């Protein structure tokens, strides 16, 4: 016997579904809120390092590009070796290749260059992945 009721709508695919990532928990796509907080943490730490070691002055004075340079170096070194920046680690995230393998130095370099340009970081695909991650072949996953 058939029912006259329409079949239920299929579930809307979650962020990362096309990449084989789970909807929730470890290994799922990192959410926007924690990602923004992680960038703010990293930027503040890099600004303090720029002020302490390179004479950068908050609110003007010194080379205004210094915090960005420190941010770039932090991202290349930490993502390329450990898979996460300080902000990522605090917020429970890590960067990996889409396959799950470590990002590695080349992907970290590509990702960091594009992240410092900023525009690719605010353009997302249907999975919620920034263009900097897409071009680097990486994804920011929840670690916990």
> Which tens digits make up the pLDDT trace of 53-95?
988 877 665 568 999 999 999 999 999 999 999 999 999 999 9
Cα(129)–Cα(78) distance, integer angstroms = 20
68-78 core/surface letters (b: 16 or more CB in 10 A; e: else): bebbbebbbeb
Beta strands in the chain (DSSP E): 93-97, 138-142
CA atoms within 13 A on the CB side of 58: 8
- Give the per-residue pLDDT at 6: 52
What pTM, to 2 d.p., does this model score? Answer: 0.85
- Give the per-residue pLDDT at 10: 45
Question: 94-98, 124-128, 136-140: which has the minimum mean pLDDT?
Answer: 124-128
Residue 117 has pLDDT above 50, yes or no: yes
* More confident position, 128 or 88: 88
- Give the per-residue pLDDT at 7: 47
**Residues forming a β-bridge with 102:** 96
């Amino acid at each position: 016997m058939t029912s006259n009721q329409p079949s239920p709508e299929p579930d809307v695919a979650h962020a990362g579904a096309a990449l084989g990532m789970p909807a929730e928990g470890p290994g799922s796509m990192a959410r926007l809120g924690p990602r923004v907080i992680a960038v703010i943490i990293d930027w503040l730490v890099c600004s303090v390092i720029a002020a302490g070691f390179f004479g950068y002055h908050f609110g003007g004075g010194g080379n205004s590009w210094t915090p960005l340079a420190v941010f770039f170096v932090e991202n290349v070194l930490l993502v390329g070796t450990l898979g996460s920046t300080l902000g990522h680690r605090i917020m429970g995230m890590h960067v990996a290749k889409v396959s799950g393998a470590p990002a590695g130095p080349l992907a970290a370099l590509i990702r960091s260059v594009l992240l410092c340009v900023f525009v690719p970081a605010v353009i997302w695909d249907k999975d919620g992945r920034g263009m900097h991650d897409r071009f680097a072949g990486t994804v920011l996953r929840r670690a916990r």
